[in-house]
Structures are given as structure tokens and as C-alpha cells.
Amino acid sequence: MEIHMQVRRKSVASTAVVAGLLLSFLSAIPAQAAATVALSVNGVAITTATSSSTPASVSVPSDNSVDAADAVRFSLTGVDAGSTVTVTATNAFVVSTLSTTLNPVRSTSGVTSASYSVGTGTTSEFYAYTKSIALGTIVITNAGSTFTYYLKGTAGPAYTLAYTAPTTPYTSTISKQSAIVTDVFGNLVVGVTPTLALINLTSTSPTATSADGVSDFTITYPGTPGQSALSITIAATDVVGLQAAVKSITAFITVADAASALAAEKAARAAEKAASDAALASEKAGRAADKAASDAALASEKAGRAADKAASDAALASEKAGRAADKAATDKSLATLNAQVATLNQQIASLKVLYNKLAVKFKQKIIK
């Protein structure tokens, strides 16, 4: 009884020791807590970027340098030591630092995905920028937690002008024209007024570019035909490392007399119609000739087949006549042979009668 009590006490004691060690081990494991993410642009805190309707706003790096005003700074604290911060960008780019004189960060330097090892510390930091005025997204993943933020760029200064002049306008006509202004990355620029220089033309003043980047103006062409010219210009400065700015477009315009142009157009269409009619007539004549040749070939074919049939019918009739003559000759020979056989049979019968008479007279066997 005492032995059993001792064993039971030792078992309880061992269980208590194991449980204590297990609790100590579990309490020694650090709990994983979500990191804290702080956003700022050029030192100003951003607290609304978790919603796509209130994204962080940055300037696009139109000077080809990613500076503080061009990027959202993401500062993570409370990050688990030894973990990795993974960043994925959509319509945006990620860099680990901003541009400096010694270490320039260009508009092409960013990546759309990056991973940052925290090491022994508990913080992580990176920057995000965009070259577009459309909405961009930054997704951060760390230790099972995911954070999503939004950013949007503001267009840079005017850099590229787009304009196409009419090819051949008519005298004394009025034409509404449009030019489009974009920044170095193709974003529409608002509020820019192009400058016009005109030769042998008059025009209204161009409007400031709208939200669509469009500037409108109206041209009045001269009353006499001839050459005119137009030059439209915006103020822009080339950026080192990027494509050259399109600052000015010059168009040389041939103004045509409306009546002369209409007469020329009518003459051209008449010539086209005459050529088309001639081609159609030639086509019809060719088809008629083809049909005539086809009809002649068909008639010849029919005549040949009729001649072949007549010859075949004549040969068949001749064959039939020959066979009828052969049959008649055969029938005649057979009748003659039958008559000869009948005569022989009569002669044999007469000889039998004569023989039997003599046989009776001389007491011989008769023939039956």
C-alpha cells in the first residue's frame, strides 16, 4: 500500500514539473503583433490613404528626380525582428530612398515589388511614387498582416503639345481647332494657354486647357486661295534623361478655292465613274464573249453527240438486220433438213414393209 502511494506521488510531481516547464516555454515565445504603418509626404502626415476615395497626393517626378514631394514615405514600427516586409505596387513604383545629389533616384528607378528584411530591428521604411494621375495601390504584407494604401499623382508642367492642322481647307471658311497639352509622362495638363502665330490667317485666342488637356481656338481662312501657315507653342523645358519636349508645332496650309475644289472634285469623280463604266463594259463584253464561246462549244458538243448517236443507231439497225438474215437462213436450212429426214423415214418404212413380206415368204424373222 505504501509502495503504491509513493509511485502515485512521484507521478503527480513529474506532471507538475512538465506543466511548469511548458508554461515557461510558452511565455518565453514573443507574441506576433501587427506592425504600425505611418505615411507622410514631404514631412506632412497622411492619414486618409487607406481609402481609394482619399488617396495620398504626390507630384509626379517631372524633373526626373524622385524627391520628398514626389513620394509617400512609409514608416513601419513594431515589426517582428527577423521578419520580411513585402511591398507590391500597382500603377506606382517603390524605392528604398529618395534622390540626393550623390545618389540620384530617377523616375525609372522604381520597382513594382520589393522585399525588405527587418533583421534584428523592429522598423522598416520605403517610399512610393507614381508617374500617373490615375489611382495607384500599395499593398504591404508582414507577419500575416496586410495593409493597403492608395496614392495619386498630380500632373507636371506642360511638356508635350499635340496638334494636327486641316489638310486642305477652303477659302472663307471657319474651322474650330483643338490642341492637347500633356506633361512629360503623358498626363493631361489643365490651365495652360498655348500661343498662336499666324500667316494669312485669323483666329480667336486659344482657351486654357480643360480637364481633358484640350485648348480650343477658331481659325478663319482667307477669301483667296493660296498658302497659309500656323505655329502653336507652349512654354516647356527639356528634362535631362527624358525625351525632348514638344514645345511647338508648325503647319503649312494650302487654302483651296471652294468652287474650284468642288469642280475638281466633280471632274475627278466623273473620271472615276467613266473609268468604272469602261471597266464594267469591258467586263460585260468579256463575259458575253465567254458565254458565246461557251454556247458554241456546247452546240458543237451536242452536234457531236447527235452524230455519234445516229452512227450508233445505224450500226445497231445493221446488226439487227444481219442477225435477222442469219436467222432466216438458219430457219430455211433447218426446214430443208427436216424435210430430208422425213423423206428418209418414209423410205425406211417402205423398205421394212418389203423386207417383212420377203421374210414371211421365206420364213425369216420380220423387223418390227
The answer to whether 218 touches 228, Cβ cutoff 8 Å, is no
Q: Is residue 142 part of a domain?
A: yes
Q: What is the mean pLDDT of residues 223-250?
A: 97
Q: Is residue 14 part of a domain?
A: no
Per-residue confidence at 33, pLDDT binned at 50, 70, 90?
A: low
CB neighbourhood size of 91 (10 A): 17
Q: Is residue 326 part of a domain?
A: no
Domain-ending residue, one of 256, 273, 301? 256
Quick one: pLDDT at residue 106? 98
The domain total for the chain is 2
Residues 57 and 149 in one domain: yes
The answer to whether 110 touches 129, Cβ cutoff 8 Å, is yes
Domain-ending residue, one of 87, 120, 154? 154
Per-residue confidence at 66, pLDDT binned at 50, 70, 90?
A: very high
Residues 74 and 148 in one domain: yes
Residue 81: all three cell numbers together:
525582428
Q: Is residue 12 part of a domain?
A: no
Instruction: Find the domain containing 106 and state its range.
Output: 36-154
Q: Is residue 107 part of a domain?
A: yes
Chain Cα centroid distance, residue 180: 28
The answer to whether 95 touches 126, Cβ cutoff 8 Å, is yes
Quick one: pLDDT at residue 1? 44
Q: Is residue 96 part of a domain?
A: yes
| CATH number where 147 lies | 2.60.40
Residue 298, CB half-sphere, CA atoms under 13 Å: how many?
A: 6
Q: Model-level pTM?
A: 0.64
Q: What is the mean pLDDT of residues 260-280?
A: 87
Domain-ending residue, one of 129, 154, 179? 154
